[in-house]
Amino acid sequence: MTQALKVGYIGLGLMGKSIARNILKAGFTLVVHNRSRAAVDELVAEGAQAAFSPAEVARQVDIVFTNLPDSPDVEQVALGEDGVIAGAHPGLVMVDNSTIKPATARHIAAVLGEHGVLCLDAPVSGGDIGARQGTLSIMVGGPAEALEKALPVLQATGKTITHVGESGAGQIAKACNQIMVAAQMVAMGELLVFAHKAGADPRKIVEAIKGGAAQCWTLDVKPPRLFAGNRQPGFKAYMQAKDLGIVLDTAHEYKIPLPSAAVDAQLFNAMLQMGMAELDNSAVLGVIEALAGASLDESSI
């Protein structure tokens, strides 16, 4: 049965296109916009409607989602010329699935609030797999009445939806998530290289430790891909580096010491310098390999 709410989705990248597709599959009328038209054409072929600006999307829908690379992008799409603000109408809810600075989320919510729009910052975790399967973890900041309206749509895209608090709280939760994700990716890279160079089979090491205190999503999901020589995203390294920049900028704003996250940020920035920006965040392993002078490729394990 077709859902009554009309939904817009702006930003059809690696994650956004899969999230939008799940909204469409759930029976919602969907209007999509993206700078690159190929993703728009793909979803239109599946039943979505095309729009040519954020304002055009916002004008037509009850709920407009955004999923964009960084804080300036979201601010431009929300508040810029021909942005969501130009198509704002009372009762519109904007849900941002991007990962941006908490301060930016609060600013957008305040400005759009003056135009009758309720805003939710709702970043997601779970990678491309979670986006495709509709099993994302969604961290929500913003007013409860906006979440109540958007909840049926969010339930089509994620399995864990947590209302963390007021505007900005969802982005704070995502920053905390990225502190942990980065630490896990770096630790996994270190332990795999350690095992290999110290003379043990990394595959067997992973099997030995992932059922104990070291168990985590990263060890459950990433090693088989790495052992097969697959370092493709997933979640791109340059996005992990960007997210850690948000973490450290926010930590500086609130005078919070984050020594481990600062080192992890250096390692992910090293990936960018080494030409690995487009690889998966688990490919931070490559930086550890370079430092150790040991390659964990298929021929050596």
DSSP codes, 170-195: HHHHHHHHHHHHHHHHHHHHHHHHHH
Closest CA relative to residue 287, chosen from 269, 272, 267, 273: 267
Kindly list the distances between the CA atom of residue 84 and the CA atoms of 17, 74, 148, 262, 272, in Å, as whole numbers in the listed order. Answer: 19, 10, 21, 35, 32
Rounded distance, CA 208 to CA 190, Å? Answer: 16
- The packing angle between helices 16-25 and 37-44, to 10°, is 20
Q: Which two tokens stand for residue 101?
A: 């600075």
Task: Please confirm, yes or no, whether 174 is among the known catalytic residues.
Answer: yes
Residues 6+ apart with CB under 8 A from 229: 297, 298
Catalytic residue among 174, 222, 236, 242: 174
Q: Other C-beta atoms within 10 Å of 53: how many?
A: 17
Rounded distance, CA 172 to CA 45, Å? Answer: 37
Whether residue 293 has a cis bond before it, omega within 30° of 0:
no
Q: Which two tokens stand for residue 158?
A: 């994620």
Closest CA relative to residue 43, chosen from 59, 65, 62: 65
Rounded distance, CA 179 to CA 289, Å? Answer: 22
Active site residues: 174
